[in-house]
Structure 1
Amino acid sequence: MPINETLSQYSNWLYTTTVAIYVIALMLTLVEQGFGAKGRQAAERSKQRVRELVGAGGPVTTETPAEPEPPREVGRPERVGRMGAALLVLGALLQLSAIVLRGLATHRAPWGNMYEYGMAVTFITVVAWLVVTWKFPVRHLTPFLLLPVVILMFVNGTMLYTVAAPVQPALQSYWLVIHVAAAIIGSGVFLVPGVASVLYLFRSAHDRDPAKFARFAPKLPAADVLDRIAYRTTIFAFPVFTFGVLCGAVWAESAWGRFWGWDPKETVAFIAWVVYAAYLHSRATAGWRGTRAAVINIVGFAATIFNLFFVNLVTVGLHSYAGVS
C-alpha cells in the first residue's frame, strides 16, 4: 500500500512539538528541583547530619528522629513543578500520537528503522518515569530523566531521521512486532534505573563525606530510595528484555539460518543482558547493594545507550538495514 504522506507529516510535526514540550517541562521541573520543598527538606536533613558528625567527632551509626514538620503550603516552585509534570503527560500523549500516525502512514508496526525505534524507546522511558513518580515522591528528580530523553530525541530527529517508507523484505515478519516491541520496552525502562543509579552514586558519596557534592547531592532523595527505584525498574525490564533477545534468536534462525552470529548489535545486546543479569544475581545472592550494585547498573545503562545508537551509526552488520543511511 502507498505511504500516506499527510499522516507522516502530521507525525513529524507531533514529534517536533513533543520535543519542544519536553524542553519546557525540563525547565519548569528544574525550578522545583532547585527551589522546591523536597529539595530544601533533603538539604536540611543533610545539614543536620553534618552537625551530628561534627558534634560527635566522627561517624554516627544512628540518627536522632527528626521532629515531625507541620504541613507545608504548596509553594510556587511546587506549582511550577506540577505544571512541568502536566506538560510531561501532555508530551507523552503527543509522542504516542506521533508513533501511531507513523504506523498508520506506513501500514506497519511503527518501529521499522532507527528513527522510529528511538521515538518509541524514549516514549517508554517517559511513561516508566511517570509510573515511578506515581509510586515514589521523586517528581523533583524529573529534570535528570528528561535531560537525556531530550538529548536522545534531538539526536534521533536530526541524525537518525528516516522518511516514512515500507520496510525491507527481511523485516516483513510478525517477529518485527514481537521482538522489536520487547526490545523497545526493555531498553526504554532500563534508562530509568540508569539515571537513578547515577544519582545514587552522588548521594551515597555525599553521605559518606558531606563535603562532597555539597551543593547538589543534599537535594536528592535518600540513597535507599534511589536504590529501590533502580532495583524495581530493573526487575521489570529484565524479563521483557530477555524475551526480546530470545525472540531475536528465533527470528535470526528463521531469516538467516542461525540463532546467533555475533553480529555487533547481537553482541552488545548480549553484553547488556549479562551485566543486568549480574546486577540482579548479585543483589539476590551476594547481597550486593549500594555503590557496587549501582556501578554494575550504570555499566548496563551505558551498554544499552551504546547499542541504541553507536552500534547502528558506526559499525556494519546484519542489523545495519535498520534505516540509518
Structure 2
Amino acid sequence: MLVNTDLANLSDLSFRTAFVIYIVALVLSLIHYGRIQSVIDMRRLRDTKAEVDAKELVVAGTGSSTSDSFNEAHGLIDEPFDQELYDKRLAGAKKFSGMAQAMVWFGIALHVVSVITRGLATKRFPLGNMYEYILVMTALAMVIAAVVAQKKNWHTMWPWLLTPMVILMFFNSTVLYAQAAPLVPALNSYWLPVHVSSVSIGASIGLVSGVFSLLYLLRIWQPKGKERGFFGAVAKPLPSAKTLDSLAYKTAIVTLPVFGIGILLGAIWAEAAWGRPWGWDPKETVSLITWILYAAYLHARATAGWKNYKAAWINVLALATSIFNLFFINMVVSGLHSYAGLN
C-alpha cells in the first residue's frame, strides 16, 4: 500500500506546529498563574480587612484594643483596600487566561489535523506504532482537558496539564518518531481500530484523572488559605481539594469501563490471532494491573472508612503503571506486543 507523502508531511508539520502552539499556551498560562496569585492575595487581604471592620463594629464604644491587636497579628495597615488595583490585576489575569485558552484550542485543531492527515496518508487508522499511538492519545487528552477547563473556567489547571503533554509530545516527535508506512503484518486486522482506540481513549482519560489526583494531594498538603512556603505559593491558584478530588473521581469512572473494554477487545483479537485470549505477555499483564488499580481506586473512593487522600494514592499509582507500560514495556521489554516501531 503506497503512502501519500504530501499528507504524511502535512501531518508531521501540523504535529510540530501544535507542539509549538502548546508551548506558547503554556507560557501564557504560567503568566496567568503568576498573576492570579497576586489577585488571590489581594482578595484575601480584602476579606481579612472586612473581618477586621466587622470586629471593630462589635467592640465599638467599649474602648477595647481588640481590633488593633488583630491588625498587628495579621500585619494589616489602616489604608483602605485598593479596589481599582484589584480590578486591574484581575482583568490582566483574565486576559492571559483567555489568550492561553484560545491558543490551546488552536493547538488542538492542528493536533487533530495531524491525526487525520496521518490516517489519510497511510489509508488506515493511525495506530500502527508508538508514535501514532501517542499522537492520538495526546490529542484525546488535550480535547478532554480543554472541555473540562472551558466548562468550569478552571484555567489555572493549564500549567499542570500542558507540561506533561508538551514533554510527551517532544519525546514522541524525537525519540519515538516513525515515518508513515503500511502496517506491520501483526497489526493488519480490523481489530486494530476498535482495540487500540478503546485503550488509547481510556489511557487518555486516565492520564487526566491521575494528574487531578496529584493536584488533589498537593492541595491537601497545602490547604486553601493556609498555604506555606514555595509549594504553598504553587498550590495557591488551584481549586479546592474537594473539587480536584471530584474531578479525579469522575474521570476515573469513565476510564475504568473504557480501558476495560479495550483490554477485553484485545483478548478477543489475541484469540483470533494467536489462538489464545490471554498469555500473560508483559503488556497484557501491566495493562491488567493498571485496570485493577483503577477499579481499586473507585472502590476505595466509594467505601466508607477510606480517606479520600488514601484512595488518591491508588489513582496516582495507576497513572505510574500506565506510564511504565507506555514507555518501559513498549521500548525495553520484548514480547508479543513489541511492534512499537523501535524494535
- TM-score, length basis structure 1: 0.88
Kindly report which structure 2 residues correspond to 1:31-70, keeping only aligned pairs within 5 A, or say none: 31-36=31-36, 40-41=39-40
Based on CA coordinates, which of the two structures has the bigger radius of gyration? 2
Please say if 1:224 is aligned against 2:242: yes
Q: In the superposition, relative to structure 1, how do residues 204 and 40 fare at CA in structure 2: closer, same or farther (>3 Å)?
A: farther
Decide whether the 8 Å contact of 1:263 with 1:318 is kept in 2: yes
Provide the residue aligned with 1:211 in structure 2: 228
Q: Which runs of 5+ in 1 are unaligned?
A: 56-68
Higher mean displacement: 85-94 or 217-226 = 217-226
Q: What is the letter of the counterpart of residue 255 of structure 1?
A: A
Change (3 A) 1:168 1:285: same
Instruction: Give the Cα separation in 1 of the matches to 2:232 and 2:336.
Output: 48
Q: How much identity, in percent, do the aligned residues show?
A: 45
Distance 1:279 1:48, change over 3 A: farther
Q: Which runs of 5+ in 2 are unaligned?
A: 53-69, 71-82
Q: Tell me how many residue pairs correspond in the alignment.
A: 308
CA distance in 1, matches of 2:274, 2:19: 38
Q: CA deviation at 1:40?
A: 3.4
Letter in 1 for 2:40: Q
Q: Residues 36 and 75 of structure 1 are in contact (CA less than 8 Å); yes or no, is this contact kept in structure 2?
A: no
**Which amino acid letter does the alignment assign opposite residue 302 of structure 1?**
A
What is the distance in 2 between the residues matched to 1:86 and 1:207?
Answer: 30
User: Among residues 138, 163, 167, which one is paired with 1:147 in the alignment?
Assistant: 163
* Cα root mean square deviation, aligned: 2.5
Deviation of 1:211 (Å) = 3.4
Which position in structure 2 is the counterpart of 1:296? 314
Q: Is the 8 A contact 1:42 1:221 kept in 2?
A: no
Q: 1:246 aligns with which of 229, 241, 264?
A: 264
Partner amino acid, structure 2, of 1:29: S
Q: Give the structure 2 partner of residue 124 of structure 1.
A: 140
Picking from 156, 170, 174, the partner of 2:172 is 156
The aligned residue for residue 187 of structure 1 is 203
Deviations 1:206-227 (A, max 9, x none): 1297436332222211100100
What secondary structure, in the 3-state scheme, does the structure 1 residue paired with 2:236 have?
A: helix
Between the aligned partners of 1:141 and 1:292, the Cα distance in structure 2 is 22
**Deviations 1:287-308, CA, capped at 9 Å, x for gaps:** 5343112111100111111111
What secondary structure is seen at the aligned counterpart in 1 of 2:341? Answer: coil
CA distance in 2, matches of 1:320, 1:105: 24
CA contact (8 A) 2:227 2:235 kept: no
The counterpart of 1:307, out of the listed 322, 325, 328, is 325
Q: What is the rounded CA distance, in whole Å, between the counterparts of 2:338 and 2:103 in structure 1?
A: 35
1:147 deviates by 0.3
| Alignment pair present for 1:107 and 2:123 | yes
Counterpart secondary structure, 2:232: coil
State the alpha-carbon separation in 2 of the partners of residues 289 and 108 from structure 1: 46
Partner of 1:17: 17
CA deviations over 1:245-296 (Å, ceiling 9, x no partner): 1000100111111111111111110110010000011122335343112111
Corresponding residue SS for 1:321: coil
Q: Is the CA contact 1:43–1:218 (under 8 Å) kept in the aligned structure 2? A: no
CA change 1:196–1:40 in 2 (3 A) is farther
Kept in 1: contact 2:36–2:237 (CA 8 A)? no
Corresponding position of 1:94: 110
- Judging changes above 3 Å, is the alpha-carbon distance between structure 1 residues 13 and 282 closer, same or farther for their aligned structure 2 residues? same
- Note the C-alpha offset of 1:78: 1.4
Counterpart contact for 2:301–2:308, Cα < 8 Å: no
Residue by residue over 1:24-75, the C-alpha shift from the partner in whole angstroms, topping out at 9 and shown as x without a partner, is 00000111111127x73388559979x99xx9xxxxxxxxxxxxx9995651
Q: Distance in 2 between matches of 1:34 and 1:301?
A: 28
**Contact 1:42/1:218 (CA < 8 Å) preserved in 2?**
no
Could you tell me which residue of structure 2 aligns to residue 83 of structure 1? 99
User: 2-side partners of 1:19 and 1:191: how far apart?
Assistant: 18
> Is contact 1:200–1:223 with CA below 8 Å preserved after alignment?
yes
